[in-house]
Chain A
Amino acid sequence: MSIEFKNITKTYDQAPVLENINAEIENGEFFAVVGPSGCGKSTLLRMLAGLIDITDGIIKINGKQINGLAAKDRNLTMVFQDYALFPFLNVEDNIAFGLKARKMPEEEIKKRVAHALEMVDLSDYKERKPRDLSGGQRQRVALARAIASDAKICLMDEPLSNLDAQLRVKMRSEIRDLQQKLGLTLIYVTHDQIEAMTMADHIMVLNDKHVQQIDTPLGIYNQPANEFVANFFGSPKINILSGNYQSNNHEITIDKYLKIKVNKKLDKNDYVVGIRPNQMDFETIDNLKEGNASVKNVSNLGSQTIVSALLDNGQTVRIVKENQLSIAPGERIKATSRGDAFVFDPEKRNLAAISVGV
């Protein structure tokens, strides 16, 4: 089941919320739609589901235009953020609800429900009401419902955001496994970049009504199309710093120790540079008059240490080191780049150049 968005636009009361969305999703693909809240990602999902009208553009499923087709005829399922379980029905009946409404034969319903319950490992809970289940169990009932419907397209709208952190990690892999096992084409809406990175085959980044980038997780990480995408992905957050371009040595200078080599010729004087925290380094300096920054804050995570420091020119940087450090706020350091960095156009904020290696 392939899906195609062509020049999709959505307006509410003449105010556009999505403009010119284009995307192609392959059969069996795990496709994540990521963006900050209010970027229109749920709207896009609901247009695909047939729950809201498409203002302009075309959506195709398997090459067939489905604009105007009723939701029920699009042969897809949806898992909601709040799971949309009927509180008055037990687990079994919740899963069977849609099948009964479609007047499926009793035997078939039974078979499918049992199978779906088995898939999500809830067979022992089929008599329970949703209120007697934990958050993770409710989530799995919602999944079971999607499984039972046998549709090959599944839409998920922030399905994990109501769960605690540990459970979220666990469910991520469960959903991914399920998607693979059933061969689903899965459209997964989330605001959590880690979910998208860890689960998806492709990611669509949405912001400000427009598609910012569509790529594989690594593609997005390694070649962000613009400053927004670079900023949105990666943890801790990328450092965005301003610097001067010197055409004579193809170098951008942020301060006296922090310099970036650029792989091509640029035509402006000022650029914005993005350096991921793990692409920065520092050494401690004893002399207070030396170095280029002072340590402001130190977070020891065990496997790594995150140091945030204030450059002498007033910009703040985060630096990640893959070991445990004993360093205290106030200490002088000399912050440098390891080499990898993104150079963004100062006005358009899109990628102008990539720096690899010093």
Chain B
Amino acid sequence: MEEENNLLDAKKQNILENSKKSILANKISVKKNDKFYALLFLGPSLLLLILFIFYPMLKTIYLSLFLTNGNGQNTVFVGLENYVSLLTSSTYLASLGSTFVYVIGVSVLTIFLGLLLASTASKNVRGSVFFRTIFSSTMGVSISVSAIFWLFIFNPSIGILNQVAAFFHLPILNWSTDPNLAMISVIISTVWMNLGFAFLVLFSAFESLPLSLYEETAIEGVGPVYRFMHVTIPLISPTLFFVSIITLIESFKSFGLIDLMTAGGPNNATNMLVYQIYQNAFLNGNYSQASAESVILTIIIAILTFIQFKYLEKKVSY
């Protein structure tokens, strides 16, 4: 009986394999007519891609090889000089460093807190619906509103944080002016902003966890920490992977909060790569420099995403 079963399985596999092969074979012998239709259907999206992705990308690379004059025209071809000067400039390297601190800080904290909130809210206790709403509510808050909200908290003289600190005779901290504290305050605000999304996505992952697996672990006598690390995390790993990539890329690109809260200061401590691009392109009119910075940022994000896919995805079980 069992052998029969195995044989049956093997047969099924064979059939699958064969059907895959025949599909491939079909692909190879595409008729001319099919090519026409393929082009017809791909055409619009291809056109849009060329127009809005490929052309700007190539143009950015092209612009980065020139110097921009006062009228915003690219006049002198300088090859890779913009890149060289960027990569040897201490401000740019410092900005690169602070961007990494920021991105890692934001990503790690967002995912950690998102997990914490999601696992807490997924427990069916009284009031959990209320907290779910609260936890995800930052999604509905605009960047400007939250920037004002946090500025009010961090304000050195009238901010809530320092007033509370004063009340308890704790040291008064200059949140927005001390370089290190400014970075922390920007990270906290960004994490707060991002948390709603991370929570919602992770929470839905928690909600779809199969109950029987947890009953099984209860019977097997698995401790809560072991269960979280060896059952929950692997089960939600696809979602976790998704959230981590999105958070990473988003924090690389985050601009609004920084512009509104610190404008890159103090002492360039929060002058992230994206903010520098903005300063160069839209305040200085230095398009070539901004282009070079964009290209570098794109490469960094591409590399990091590639690494994530290459190494993290192995740990993901679908």
Contacts and interface: CB of A to CB of B under 8 A. Distances in A.
Nearest to A94: B216
B219 A49 contact: yes
Given A72-B218, A136-B5, A101 B213 contact: no
A124 B219 contact: no
Contacts of A72: 218-222
A101 B212 contact: no
B178 interface: no
Contacts of A49: 215, 219
B317 A98 contact: no
A84 B213 contact: yes
Contacts of B223: 101
Contacts of A74: 219
A83 B231 CA distance: 15
A249 interface: no
B213 A88 contact: no
A77 B219 contact: yes
A170 interface: yes
B167 interface: no
B2 A101 contact: no
A313 interface: no
Interface in B1-19: 1-2, 5-6, 9
A87 B235 contact: yes
Nearest to A99: B220
A124 to B, nearest CB: 7
B171 interface: no
B2 A121 contact: yes
B220 A80 contact: no
B221 A84 contact: no
B219 A101 contact: no
A97 B220 contact: yes
B70 interface: no
Given A84-B210, A101-B221, 8 more contacts: A49-B215, A74-B219, A76-B219, A78-B215, A78-B216, A86-B231, A88-B234, A98-B222
8 closest residue pairs by CB, A with B: A72-B221, A98-B220, A88-B317, A84-B212, A88-B234, A80-B212, A84-B216, A101-B222
22 contacts: A46-B215, A49-B219, A50-B218, A51-B219, A71-B218, A73-B221, A74-B219, A78-B216, A81-B212, A83-B212, A84-B210, A84-B215, A87-B318, A88-B235, A88-B237, A97-B220, A98-B216, A98-B222, A102-B220, A124-B6, A137-B5, A170-B1
